Structure 1
Amino acid sequence: MFRSASLLVWQRRWALLFGGLTLVTACLSLVPVQQLPSSIHFWDKAQHALGFAALGGVGLLAFPQRPLRLLGGLMLFGVVIELAQAATGWREGDWLDGMADGVGLAVGALAWLGARGWLSRAADRRPGA
């Protein structure tokens, strides 16, 4: 019982972080580039991959029940961002950015799989588990 209650608390925390990351990603993706902090100006495709790796990994920690649905939804989110950027007039939509989003999601999913396996083995080794 304690283990499942603790897991639920952590999933709620991951869900809050996931919501915040999603909001930050949407905002940073749609503001004019000139308004972005200079500290995040580096290769655009790397920005997409890193951002979506974080979204994928944290999203899967928050909602592990349906990983393919979550990853598909995030891929759709990336496509919608690109379409919205194309419509703004101050940003450009780019299908290569969508591919970088997909690469990032794959990295996030692999990290989640690794973390899930590691946490499972650690819990099995715990005294009293």
Structure 2
Amino acid sequence: MLPPTQLPPQAFDVWDKAQHAGGFAVLTLLCLPAFAASRLRVFMWLAIYGVLIEVAQQVSGWRTGDPMDWMADVAGVLAGLFLHWAASKFRHRTTTDLPDAQ
């Protein structure tokens, strides 16, 4: 559902962009366990999803689509991919650094 917004659109709202990026980072982290073999596919589908959200807002008549929101979505997906990669490197490092139990 795309409810009407109370505030007039602003030129650039940092908090709004942070919410977009954060939301898409979380979506990425939730999608990756299911599609870990295809990180590129996760990136592409979430980027397309972000575009569709902005198009839906634009055609709704009471909301406006913003290309900068989509860019924040993509930045969030990239951040989620990076966090997933960093966590996997950390897990690998900590498990290989453990002494052998004898």
Kindly report the root-mean-square deviation, in angstroms, between the aligned alpha carbons of the 2 structures.
2.0
| Count of aligned residue pairs for this structure pair | 93
* Offset, 1:105: 1.0
Give TM-score, length-normalised by structure 1: 0.63
* Identity fraction in percent: 42
User: Which amino acid in 1 is paired with 2:17?
Assistant: K
Matches within 5 A, 1:96-115: 96-115=68-87
Structure 1 unaligned blocks of 5 or more: 1-26, 35-41
SS of structure 2 residue aligned to 1:90: coil
One-letter amino acid matched to 1:121: R
Greater helix share, structure number:
1
TM-score, scaled relative to structure 2: 0.78
- CA positional deviation for 1:103: 0.9
Pairwise CA distance, 1:118: 1.4
Which 10-residue stretch deviates more, 44-53 or 70-79? 44-53
1:27-86 CA-partner distances (Å, limit 9, x unpaired): 5xx23335xxxxxxx821111111111112222233211000111100000000000111
Between 1 and 2, higher relative CO (CA 8 Å, sep ≥ 6) is seen in 2
Distance 1:33 1:93 in 2: 12
